[in-house]
């Protein structure tokens, strides 16, 4: 069974969905650690409530990206983590983590990549006036949402859609797509 760390920077709805699945036995992985770069993020409270250890840091407290990623690497190794799951982590993964966990880092993104990469994909979709957007699970590489796509699911944008209503629809899809994709990945590929 995979030993995973979840990286998150915000409220942690995907973190919570994965932890709930782990506790219910429907995620074929053990959630070993939360890594969070925002000391005030609500996801930290979620981790505490679930009894999941957390490594919380401020990037500015380190000399550079390599320094804080080296500390993250140490925390991951100490927790016995063998796979990284990004769930709203708002930083690009750098060479230190990519070398340590290459091919074992996945991300979920609220669009049908390659459309609307980066920040505010929901706002980008609304601004573009698209009728279809969605959710993508992909491997992480050195680029911004450029890694190999593992799974995607469509979300329809309806007339009068608001940012909140579209975000709610996308999060609903994210919560089941991430779990099922991770389970498939872990069971069929030996990750």
| DSSP 8-state class, residue 59 | G
Is the backbone peptide bond immediately before 114 cis, with ω within 30 degrees of 0?
A: yes
- Mark whether 45 is an active-site residue: no
- The order of strands in the sheet holding 149-156 is 54-56, 29-36, 2-8, 83-86, 105-109, 132-139, 149-156
Q: Are 14 and 174 in contact (CB under 8 A)?
A: yes
Q: Which of 111, 21, 35, 40 is nearest to 72 (CA)?
A: 35
Point out the catalytic residue in the list 74, 109, 172, 176: 109
Residues that are catalytic: 109
């Amino acid at each position: 069974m995979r030993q995973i760390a979840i990286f998150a920077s915000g409220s942690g709805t995907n973190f919570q969905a994965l932890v709930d699945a782990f506790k219910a036995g429907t995620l074929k992985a053990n959630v070993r650690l939360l890594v969070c770069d925002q000391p005030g993020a609500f996801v930290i409270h979620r981790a505490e409530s679930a009894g999941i250890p957390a490594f919380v840091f401020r990037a500015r407290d380190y000399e550079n990206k390599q320094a804080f990623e080296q500390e993250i690497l140490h925390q991951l190794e100490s927790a016995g983590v063998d796979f990284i799951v990004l769930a709203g982590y708002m930083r690009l993964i750098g060479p230190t983590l990519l070398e340590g966990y290459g091919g074992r880092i996945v991300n979920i993104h609220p669009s049908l990549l390659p459309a609307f990469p980066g920040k505010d994909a929901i706002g980008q979709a609304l601004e573009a006036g698209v009728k279809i957007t969605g959710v993508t699970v992909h491997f992480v590489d050195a680029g911004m949402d450029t890694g190999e796509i593992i799974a995607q699911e469509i979300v329809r944008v309806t007339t009068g859609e608001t940012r909140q209503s579209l975000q709610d629809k996308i999060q609903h899809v994210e919560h089941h797509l991430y779990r099922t994709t991770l389970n498939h990945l872990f069971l069929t590929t030996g990750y």
